[in-house]
Amino acid sequence: MKVSGGSGGIGPTTGVAGGRPSGGPQAAPVPGTPVVQADALSVSGSAQFLAVARARLAGVPDIRTEKVEAIRAKLDSDDYNPDSEAVADGLVREHTPPSHGDSVR
């Protein structure tokens, strides 16, 4: 993010937006009248992307309740039989740093 503008001091403003109107010829300042410079804000494409991503992620629940409820129902009916080797392999892969020949997840 880049913020640019005047000297940083606080001075009189004109109108809601402050500063000079954009476009068209600029009038010469009247002697004795303070010159007001408008501040500008520039947000990079990456920052805009992150803002959109954060807004969308805010709407996604942390817990997928439909999946939790489905597994809970299987556990209650003794119908949940995960593949113990697959679970063990997943735990080992998750907690072991990749070697040079392995692909990164």
Q: Which of 7, 82, 68 minimizes the C-alpha distance to 37?
A: 7
Structural domain includes residue 54: yes
Q: At CA 49, angle to CA 54 and CA 103, rounded to 5?
A: 85
Please state the domain count of the chain: 1
Residue 65's domain spans which residues? 43-97
Q: Quick: pLDDT tens for 58-70.
A: 988 888 899 999 9
User: Higher confidence at residue 103 or residue 42?
Assistant: 42
User: Higher confidence at residue 15 or residue 92?
Assistant: 92
Structural domain includes residue 12: no
Confidence of residue 31 (pLDDT cuts 50, 70, 90): confident
Q: What is the mean pLDDT of the chain?
A: 77
E strands, 1-105, are 2-4, 40-42
Q: Are 29 and 35 in contact (CB under 8 A)?
A: yes
Q: Which of 58, 23, 57, 60 minimizes the C-alpha distance to 38?
A: 23
Q: Which of 16, 23, 17 minimizes the C-alpha distance to 41?
A: 17
- Note if the pTM is more than 0.75: no
Structural domain includes residue 38: no
